[in-house]
């Protein structure tokens, strides 16, 4: 049973890392790395920095939005 639990934990960890990397890029991976290192080392400063990085990425504006273009309201085409 412990081997199955270790395998499940590893698969979930890798899946979470890949999801964060896909959605938030390198900054997300660095934030997740700092958070996990801080938790394992029981260092609140490092884990707090990682948590703040992830929170800033999650609550920030999405990177893939295009800037607003000219409005089509009142646009008269020749």
HEC string for the chain: CHHHHHHHHHHHHHHHHHHHHHHHHHHHHHHHHHHHHHHHHCCHHHHHHHHHHHHHHHHCCCCCCCCCCCCCCCCCCC
How confident is the model at residue 48, as a pLDDT? 95
How confident is the model at residue 61, as a pLDDT? 73
Question: Is 61 or 4 the better-scoring residue by pLDDT?
Answer: 4
Question: Range of 33's domain?
Answer: 25-60
Neighbours of 32 (CB within 10 A): 22
Domain annotation covers residue 7: no
Mean pLDDT value of segment 51-71 = 74
Q: Which structure tokens are listed for 57?
A: 């990425």
pLDDT digits (tens, 9 = 90+) for 1-56: 688 888 888 888 888 888 888 888 888 889 989 998 999 999 999 999 999 999 99
Domain annotation covers residue 52: yes
Domain annotation covers residue 8: no
Domain annotation covers residue 33: yes
């Amino acid at each position: 049973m412990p081997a199955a639990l270790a395998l499940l934990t590893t698969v979930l960890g890798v899946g979470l890392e890949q999801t964060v990397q896909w959605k938030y890029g390198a900054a997300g991976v660095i934030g997740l790395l700092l958070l996990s290192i801080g938790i394992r080392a029981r260092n609140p400063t490092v884990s707090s920095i990682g948590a703040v990085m992830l929170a800033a990425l999650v609550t920030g504006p999405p990177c893939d939005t295009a800037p607003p273009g000219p409005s089509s309201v009142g646009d008269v085409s020749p």
